[in-house]
Amino acid sequence: MRRALGALALILILSGCGLVQGAVEALPQGAQEALQAAADRVNSRRWSLQDPIDEFFAAVDARDAQAVKAMFSPNVQVQGEALDAAIEDLFALYPGPTEDCEMLSPVGSSQHQKYGRRTMVNVHNSFPVVCGGVNYYCSFSYVTTDEDHPENAGLKRVVLATEAAKCHPDYYRNTLDLGDGLAVVTAPAVEGETRRIGDQPYLFTPCDRTITQEDLLGFLEQETRWDAFQQRFGPPNAESYGGRYYELAPENGEARYALLFTREDGGTEYVSSAVLKDGREYGALGVIWKEEPSTE
C-alpha cells in the first residue's frame, strides 16, 4: 500500500511530463481509481469562473439557444418557456461576436460548510463585456457544487445590462428583485453620455478642454484648495464614491483619467490624493499625487 501511495505521489508530480499513461496502467486497479480521484481534485482546483463565462458567451455568439440553456442548473431550466424567451431577448440585444468578457475584479463566493467540508459553493462576479465596440455589463453566478440540492449545480444567474441601464441610480436596487435565471436589463436608463472608466460605467459630461498629467500635478504642487482647482480646470467629467474623475490627455492612444479625492478642513475642501485610471482595468494604474502629511 505504501508503495502504491508512493507511485501515486510520483505520478502526480509527473502529471505534466508526458509519462503518466504508462505509469497509470502499471498500477493495480484500486490505485488507478485513487489516482483518478486525486487528479480530479487537482483539476477542480484549477477551475475558474472564467471557464463557464467563456463557454456562455461562445454559445451566445453562436446563437445556440440550447447550449445556453443547458449551462443553467436543472432548477433554472424548469423555467421552460420563460428561460427560452429570456435567451431570445439576449440574442436580440447582444449581436456578437464577443470581443472581451474577461473578469477584471476579484471573484466572490458564498459557501455552506458541514464539519469543515464545503457542501455548497456559489461563485460570482460582475464584469464588462464588449461587443462591436459597445460596452455591456454582466453579473454571473455559478454553483460549482451543492451536496444537499444537486439540482442547483450549474449556472444560477446571469444579468446582462446596457451601459445606460447600469448607470441608472436604481440599477442595483432593481436587480436585487431579479430571481435565478437570465435577465436582460435595458431600462430604466440614464439620459446623456456614458463612459467606461476602469471596469465600471459612469454618467459622463464631456468638456472642451485638454488636461495633461503634468498640468494637474504642477497645479497641485502649488495649490490644493478644491475651489481653486475647479477654477483652473473646470468641473469633473464624472463622479463616484466621493471621488471626481477628470479626463486626461490619452497616452499612446489609450484613455487616461485622474480620480481625485478630497478632504474637508475648517469648512474648506482640499484635494488629498489623485490616482490614475485607464479605460479598462479594475484597479488604479498608480497614485500620481498625495498630500504631504502635516508636520504640526
**Tens-place pLDDT, residues 172-193:** 999 988 999 999 999 999 999 9
**Tens-place pLDDT, residues 226-277:** 999 999 999 999 999 889 999 999 999 999 999 999 999 999 999 999 999 9
Position 37 pLDDT exceeds 70: no
**Mind listing the domains of the chain with CATH numbers?**
2-46 (no CATH), 50-191 (3.10.450.50), 202-290 (no CATH)
Output DSSP code: residue 174: H
Least Cα distance to 143 among 71, 68, 82 occurs for 71
How far is it, in rounded angstroms, from Cα 20 to Cα 4?
A: 15
How far is it, in rounded angstroms, from Cα 3 to Cα 171?
A: 60
pTM of the predicted protein model? 0.81
Specify which residues 270 forms β-bridges with.
225, 263
Supply the pLDDT for residue 35: 46
**Range with the lowest mean pLDDT among 19-33, 60-74, 111-125?**
19-33
56: left (phi over 0), alpha (psi -120 to 50) or beta: alpha
**Tens-place pLDDT, residues 69-89:** 999 999 999 999 999 999 999
Position 197 pLDDT exceeds 60: yes
